[in-house]
């Protein structure tokens, strides 16, 4: 009995230590819940800021569209100016041809006059006239050569400008293509991340179901604790107080474990299935408890019978002293059987104690593993939310950079159009076609970015709805667990 009392004291000390650990774990869980709530509030604020930034980007896109309309009007004006310049050029060519004809007529008349005047002149006048004519031809050829050189220089300058513009356009197109590929890869990564989240959510639901099954099994073990106390009440009345204290400690440990399980069951979704399953298992536990009580009564009756047989043997020894020598073997056999029966019952009780201790250790280990896994899953969820937020911010910044580049590109195009308003019609038309194609391509990328932002907002809204649904399931689960706790207490009172 002294050894059992020492063991019970050690066990009570262990249970008190485990209870303190449970209280610290509960405090840690409360702190984690507060941190999760603050994180949720911060994410809501960031979602509001992202929506405002999205509205600002849409306003900037509207401004860009207005600027594009203004540029289109200016391009139409440039086309009209080019048409007017071509008409003026044609008129100047006609006037130049007329002046050339008039000049030729004047030259002919002058030559006739000179021939008439110089009819009487010597060969010297003829040589002088030829030298003058050659000098005029040389001067004209020189002036035409200078004009051609100037035109060549102007054409070279224009060609270099066109080549520079072409290189800038090619670099801009390559940069935009790279940004488009980056956005497509980001979208593909986001889709893979969503699939991984769905897979992990399914795995978490399966693991939650397994943990729930373990918890119910452990609760069944703890419900059978009154049978242990009854046996101790029949075998050793002196330790009943310690046994009752141990049972109360186990009850407190059960309540702490129930609170921990309530925090763990946040991902359950179906209250009706859980309620029916719990009621069925409660009925099974009640039947198991009834069977355990029946076995305890049978063991008690066996003990009483053994004691009665021992008493009968002693009375027989007192009444039949003369026949002691003849019946010694029978009495020893009967006493041996009684002792073996008592030893067997004692071993059964010790085995039950060992099983209870092993179950407690298993419960602690499973609880630690479940808590570690839930903490890891929570950290992963926070990291995934931070990564999604960073991805959205990167997309918004890329969209802003694209809009800024488009605006600067349009401004440079406007300046280029103002500087190159005197170029030929073919150059203007080619550049206008290039601008139209680049603008249509940029509009398509802008629409794709807007669709990506809308999809991201839709996914965020769906996640918010799922979170609210899980909170509702958690509240309903807490109500169900409270009802089960009341049923368990009523059952314990009824069995006690």
Span 151-193, pLDDT tens digits: 777 767 766 776 676 577 667 656 756 665 665 565 566 456 5
Q: How confident is residue 295, by pLDDT bands cut at 50, 70 and 90? A: low
Q: How far apart are CA 296 and CA 227, in angstroms?
A: 7
- The residue with greater pLDDT, 209 or 318, is 209
User: What's the mean pLDDT in 73-93?
Assistant: 76
User: What's the mean pLDDT in 482-491?
Assistant: 63
- Note the pLDDT of residue 229: 44
What are the DSSP calls for 406-417, one per residue? HHHHHHHHHHHH
User: What's the mean pLDDT in 366-388?
Assistant: 63
Q: How far is CA 4 from the centre of its chain?
A: 55
Cβ partners under 8 Å of residue 340, min gap 6 = none
Q: How confident is residue 113, by pLDDT bands cut at 50, 70 and 90? A: low
Q: How far apart are CA 185 and CA 189, in angstroms?
A: 6
Q: Is residue 48 over pLDDT 80? A: yes
Residue 371 lies in a domain: yes
- Tokens (6 digits) for 141: 């050829």
User: Angle of helix 271-319 relative to helix 225-235, nearest 10 degrees?
Assistant: 10
Q: How far is CA 315 from the centre of its chain?
A: 83
Q: How far apart are CA 216 and CA 92, in angstroms?
A: 103
Among 42-51, 392-401, 404-413, the range with the most confident prediction by mean pLDDT is: 42-51
Task: Tokens 């099974």: give the residue.
Answer: 284
Task: Tokens 């580049």: give the residue.
Answer: 405
User: What's the mean pLDDT in 387-395?
Assistant: 60
Q: Give the chain's end-to-end CA distance (angstroms, integer).
A: 24
Task: Tokens 């978490």: give the residue.
Answer: 204
- Per-residue pLDDT of 321-339, as tens digits, reads 566 556 556 666 665 665 5
User: What's the mean pLDDT in 68-83?
Assistant: 75
Q: How far apart are CA 476 and CA 469, in angstroms?
A: 11
Q: Give the DSSP H/E element, type plus range, for residue 311.
A: helix 271-319
Q: Give the DSSP H/E element, type plus range, for residue 466.
A: helix 425-495
Residue 178 lies in a domain: yes
How many percent of the chain have pLDDT more than 90? 0
Residue 98 lies in a domain: no
Q: Give exposure, 26-47, as e/b (b: 16+ Cβ within 10 Å).
A: eeebeeeeeeeeeeeeebeeeb
- The residue with greater pLDDT, 334 or 97, is 97
Q: How confident is residue 233, by pLDDT bands cut at 50, 70 and 90? A: very low
Residue 328 lies in a domain: no
Q: Is residue 271 over pLDDT 50? A: no
Tally Cβ neighbours within 10 Å of residue 285. Answer: 19
Average pLDDT, the chain: 65
- Note the pLDDT of residue 332: 62
Q: Is residue 52 over pLDDT 80? A: yes
Domains in the chain: how many in total? Answer: 1
- Note the pLDDT of residue 236: 47
Q: How confident is residue 30, by pLDDT bands cut at 50, 70 and 90? A: confident
- Per-residue pLDDT of 431-468, as tens digits, reads 556 555 555 655 665 566 567 556 656 665 665 676 67
Residue 158 lies in a domain: no
Task: Tokens 């935009």: give the residue.
Answer: 176
Task: Tokens 């452990």: give the residue.
Answer: 218
Q: How far apart are CA 77 and CA 32, in angstroms?
A: 66
Q: How far apart are CA 403 and CA 401, in angstroms?
A: 5
Residue 397 lies in a domain: yes
* Dihedral over Cα of 233, 234, 239, 243: its sign: negative
Q: How far apart are CA 121 and CA 110, in angstroms?
A: 16
* Dihedral over Cα of 255, 260, 263, 267: its sign: negative
Number of separate helices (H) and strands (E) present in the chain = 7, 0
Cβ partners under 8 Å of residue 431, min gap 6 = 165
- Note the pLDDT of residue 240: 54
Q: Give the DSSP H/E element, type plus range, for residue 336.
A: helix 324-419
Q: How confident is residue 354, by pLDDT bands cut at 50, 70 and 90? A: low
Q: How confident is residue 18, by pLDDT bands cut at 50, 70 and 90? A: confident
- The residue with greater pLDDT, 173 or 108, is 108
- The residue with greater pLDDT, 369 or 437, is 369
- Note the pLDDT of residue 269: 53
- Tokens (6 digits) for 162: 């066109």
User: What's the mean pLDDT in 355-368?
Assistant: 62
How many percent of the chain have pLDDT more than 70? 29
Residue 143 lies in a domain: no
Residue 283's domain comprises 2-87+173-287+348-495
Q: Is residue 350 over pLDDT 80? A: no
Residue 356 lies in a domain: yes
Q: How confident is residue 46, by pLDDT bands cut at 50, 70 and 90? A: confident
Q: How far apart are CA 250 and CA 269, in angstroms?
A: 30
CA distances from 70 to 73, 443, 453 (A): 5, 16, 28
Cβ partners under 8 Å of residue 463, min gap 6 = none
Cβ partners under 8 Å of residue 435, min gap 6 = 75, 413
- Note the pLDDT of residue 235: 42
Q: How far apart are CA 271 and CA 484, in angstroms?
A: 13
Q: How confident is residue 429, by pLDDT bands cut at 50, 70 and 90? A: low
User: What's the mean pLDDT in 381-392?
Assistant: 60
CA distances from 12 to 183, 242, 496 (A): 62, 8, 21
Among 134-138, 266-270, 341-345, the range with the most confident prediction by mean pLDDT is: 134-138
Kindly report which listed range (208-222, 358-372, 435-449, 452-466) carries the lowest average pLDDT score: 435-449
């Amino acid at each position: 009995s002294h050894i059992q009392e020492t063991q019970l004291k050690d066990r009570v000390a262990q249970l008190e230590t485990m209870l303190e650990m449970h209280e610290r774990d509960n405090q840690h869980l409360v702190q984690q819940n507060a941190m999760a709530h603050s994180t949720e509030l911060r994410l809501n604020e960031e979602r509001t800021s992202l929506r405002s930034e999205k509205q600002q980007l849409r306003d900037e896109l509207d401004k860009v569209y207005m600027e594009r309309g203004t540029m289109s009007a200016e391009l139409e004006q440039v086309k009209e100016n080019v048409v007017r310049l071509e008409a003026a050029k044609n008129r100047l060519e006609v006037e130049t041809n007329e002046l050339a004809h008039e000049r030729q007529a004047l030259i002919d008349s002058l030559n006739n006059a000179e021939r008439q005047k110089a009819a009487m002149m010597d060969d010297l006048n003829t040589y002088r006239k030829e030298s003058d004519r050659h000098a005029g031809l040389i001067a004209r050829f020189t002036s035409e050569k200078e004009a051609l050189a100037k035109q060549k220089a102007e054409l070279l300058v224009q060609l270099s400008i066109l080549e520079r513009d072409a290189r800038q356009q090619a670099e801009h197109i390559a940069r935009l293509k790279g940004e488009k590929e980056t956005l497509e890869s980001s979208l593909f990564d986001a889709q893979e991340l969503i699939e991984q989240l769905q897979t992990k959510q399914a795995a978490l639901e399966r693991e939650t179901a397994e943990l729930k099954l373990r918890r119910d099994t452990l609760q069944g073990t703890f419900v059978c604790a009154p049978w242990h106390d009854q046996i101790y009440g029949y075998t050793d009345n002196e330790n009943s107080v310690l046994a009752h204290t141990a049972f109360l400690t186990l009850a407190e440990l059960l309540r702490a474990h129930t609170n921990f399980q309530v925090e763990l069951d946040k991902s359950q979704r179906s209250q009706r299935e859980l309620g029916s399953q719990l009621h069925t298992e409660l009925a099974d536990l009640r039947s198991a408890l009834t069977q355990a009580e029946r076995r305890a009564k049978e063991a008690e009756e066996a003990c009483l019978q053994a004691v009665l047989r021992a008493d009968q043997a002693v009375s027989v020894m007192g009444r039949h002293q003369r026949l002691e020598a003849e019946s010694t073997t029978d009495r020893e056999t009967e006493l041996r059987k009684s002792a073996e029966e008592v030893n067997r019952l004692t071993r059964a009780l010790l085995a039950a104690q060992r099983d209870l201790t092993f179950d407690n250790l298993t419960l602690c280990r499973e609880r630690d593993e479940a808590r570690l896994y839930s903490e890891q899953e929570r950290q992963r969820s926070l990291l995934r939310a931070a990564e999604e937020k960073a991805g959205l911010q990167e997309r918004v910044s890329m969209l802003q950079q694209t809009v800024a580049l488009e605006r600067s590109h349009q401004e440079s195009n406007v300046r280029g159009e103002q500087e190159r308003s005197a170029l030929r019609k073919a150059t203007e038309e080619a550049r206008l076609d290039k601008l139209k194609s680049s603008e249509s391509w940029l509009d398509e990328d802008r629409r794709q970015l807007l669709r990506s932002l809308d999809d991201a907002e839709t996914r965020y809204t769906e996640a918010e709805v799922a979170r609210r649904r899980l909170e509702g399931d958690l509240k309903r689960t807490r109500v169900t667990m409270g009802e089960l706790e009341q049923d368990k207490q009523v059952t314990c009172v009824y069995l006690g």
